[in-house]
Chains A and B, each alone.
Chain A
């Protein structure tokens, strides 16, 4: 198929416009976090660092950051352990019900976030009678963060041979020694990548969080949602939004460099629902 020069140019221009469409709103948030005008009319009226200072001084924002980091850390640790165990069992063993389990892992990303959210909310409040707190958020987050760790770990296990582990055990290493000295070093960078993705996912998750968080607790996204409609908080919301963009993109960038594969669509899907 030979495209004419003009067809190529038209396609290039469309691509450029779509990229402009993708980046402009995000850049606008960044620019507005320095915009001296409180109402954020366009074009900006002047440059100021006042909102950044205000955000750093705001106790509400600081508490929300602490909660977000805590939730993301604990969910990441839980999902690292569970995701790794699951990946090893599904990749290295044959057993009855294996297909069911591998379907179950992706279920939290196959259904919309609102479904996961209400299902967990209903289970905690109606069925179990557990009061919602940051712990219930951790349980919810770990459930879908597990998928990213699982995906990264199982992709790596597929590329490495079980022969090395057999050799290790033939040479007299125990089960735990083999894991520590043979399996884990091969998995290390994949787990780091999966862990970073899980952290980023949990850090800016909003939909499932709104259903599982206790009254009076705030994570950073919840803080944004609560302050979004308060005009006097708008400048600080912009700053927090920029922080969220940076905190979610940097780990992804690192993860991509670490895992060596580009971060796939199905993982992005976790992110979408995860939301």
Chain B
């Protein structure tokens, strides 16, 4: 706008009709003089959005967990109670579901770690340089395919008369069917790239010269791996576990698609929002994964893993 005004000779007939532009110019000049006003203009909308939409929603969730539902009207009543929290923590049903969810998340994390270490090592340190980029893309691509489709794909693989039965038949193996095992396999599949990538980045950062020095000083490959590489890799591995662990902990779609009757914390949350219509209880249940993740982050924060996210 300022530029357009400069092109007009002062006092020319056009400039007489350019009042709105002149106004914009003075507004622009005001902004130019005051960085604080500029910042306010930039920051107000996104900051309000984050605070009003997200922070307010999280705060409301915490508060709602202490409310209850009127059994007659089905409406949320704002009477304060710790009943929901107490039920979630002490009822054996929810204790079992919490334990099962944590067990699934741990199993998924361990499986992914075991699968990711050799492939990340191969891509970073063994594969020829021209393959390296290609392999990284090959790992990265499926990560972007829809999460829902991946869970659905496993429903196909594990189905009766499906691919897995056909593959397993000659060696006498059958599909585990839909259940807890299927959930673990599917979640390991879905989150595997999230484990491979940070570990690959970790291997990539270990300088080759360090490994050569270790070899020159007489260490066998396994010793080098244990004493040189592993300590340097710990933050990357933990970064990977944060992904796989917390993503599995909050899952319920996979449990719904391949889990059969398997219930996870997410399943309970979803059931209480929809069918059971007990939002305060759902809110109380959702505090469990939040607390577990916070606790896990608190433990691992000293390893510096949070910086490799």
Contact = CB atoms under 8 A, between A and B. Distances in A.
A126 B272 CA distance: 14
A238 to B, nearest CB: 8
Contacts of A108: 54
Interface residues of B, number: 106
Interface in B206-234: 211-212, 214-215, 219, 221, 224-225
Contact of A40 (B29, B162, B257): B162
A244 B149 contact: yes
B249 interface: yes
B191 A228 contact: no
A26 B142 contact: yes
A101 B47 contact: yes
A114 B145 contact: no
B289 A268 contact: no
A24 interface: yes
A26 B153 contact: yes
A249 interface: yes
Contacts of B76: 126
A143 B53 contact: yes
Interface stretch (A59-67, A88-96, A185-193): A88-96
Interface footprint category on A: 35 or more
Interface string B40-73: 0011011101110111111011001000000000
B31 A112 contact: no
Interface string A175-210: 111000100000000000000000010001011001
A172 B221 CA distance: 64
Contacts of B189: 21-22, 25
A22 B192 contact: yes
Contact of A118 (B45, B137, B282): B282
Contact of A89 (B29, B43, B154, B256): B43
Contact of B149 (A23, A101, A245): A245
Contacts of B193: 22, 268
Which of A4, A7, A14, A89 has the most chain B CB within a 10 Å cutoff? A89
Given A15-B119, A249-B145, 17 more contacts: A15-B135, A24-B163, A42-B165, A81-B45, A116-B54, A120-B57, A121-B273, A174-B32, A176-B24, A181-B3, A225-B256, A249-B141, A252-B141, A262-B136, A268-B197, A269-B194, A271-B147
Interface of B: 1-3, 6, 24-25, 28-29, 31-32, 35, 38-39, 42-43, 45-47, 49-51, 53-58, 60-61, 64, 76, 115, 118-119, 121-123, 126-127, 135-150, 152-157, 159, 161-163, 165-166, 189, 191-194, 197-198, 201, 211-212, 214-215, 219, 221, 224-225, 243, 246-247, 249-253, 256-257, 265-266, 269-270, 273, 279, 282-283, 286, 289-290, 293, 309
Interface of A: 1-4, 7-8, 11-12, 14-15, 18-19, 21-26, 28-29, 32, 39-43, 81-83, 85-86, 88-89, 93, 95, 101, 104-105, 107-108, 111-116, 118-123, 125-127, 139, 142-143, 146, 169, 172-177, 181, 200, 204, 206-207, 210-211, 221, 224-225, 228, 237-238, 241, 244-245, 248-249, 252-253, 262-263, 265-266, 268-269, 271-273, 275
Closest 7 CB pairs of A and B: A112-B250, A174-B28, A174-B2, A25-B153, A204-B146, A41-B161, A119-B57
